[in-house]
Structure 1
Amino acid sequence: MKDFAYSFYRSAAWKKCRQSYIDKRILIDGGLCEECHERAGYIVHHRTLLTPANIRDPEVSLNHANLEFVCKKCHDNFEGHFYQKSPKKLTKCEFDASGMPMPPSNLE
């Protein structure tokens, strides 16, 4: 979560909006992911990404027309949304037995 959005996502207004959107989707199709229609929805996603400039605009941040209920797999496929708990640390340089530098083995 971006720092500018921290308080928004913990606000009563967002929690109420989020829950009402989930309830609406459950009535429509049982709460299936709106992207793949195969898995259960898991995350309420903003179609127009929230920014510091629009997060206080309820037409963007709290508008059901700007939301979709998606599974985690589909959400992770959206640009900039993949969350990896333990990012792979890349080694800058490794050395062979004779002390010569060689490419890192964990770049793949």
Structure 2
Amino acid sequence: MRQSGEKEDIRHGIQRVEEAIEGLDIGILINNAGATYRRASYFDEAEERVLGEVVRVNVEGTSWMSRVVMKGMVERGRGAVVNVGSGAACVLPSFPLYTVYSATKA
């Protein structure tokens, strides 16, 4: 569940990035940020708050940053976005103590 004010924080963060990159010719964006659980736990035992944080950083953060930077790339007709994943997404046997992290970094 999103906390009050969080959407404003996201909008403010996006605005700060837009201002910081205005006029720059960004050729490549590497999304390498990642968050995981503080302690290993099975999916059904993980705190809802922690799962939300992992998804917000690993999926939403990557998506918003890509959207902001890609606007200029599309206008210039060039650029690349690289999303860094994790080996946890393809470990065999599976990595059951970090299910959401693995899924968000696949």
- Give the alignment's TM-score, normalised by structure 2: 0.31
Based on CA coordinates, which of the two structures has the bigger radius of gyration?
A: 1
- Give the alignment's TM-score, normalised by structure 1: 0.31
Which structure has more relative contact order (CA 8 Å, sep 6+)? It is: 2
Determine which structure has the larger helix proportion and give its number.
2
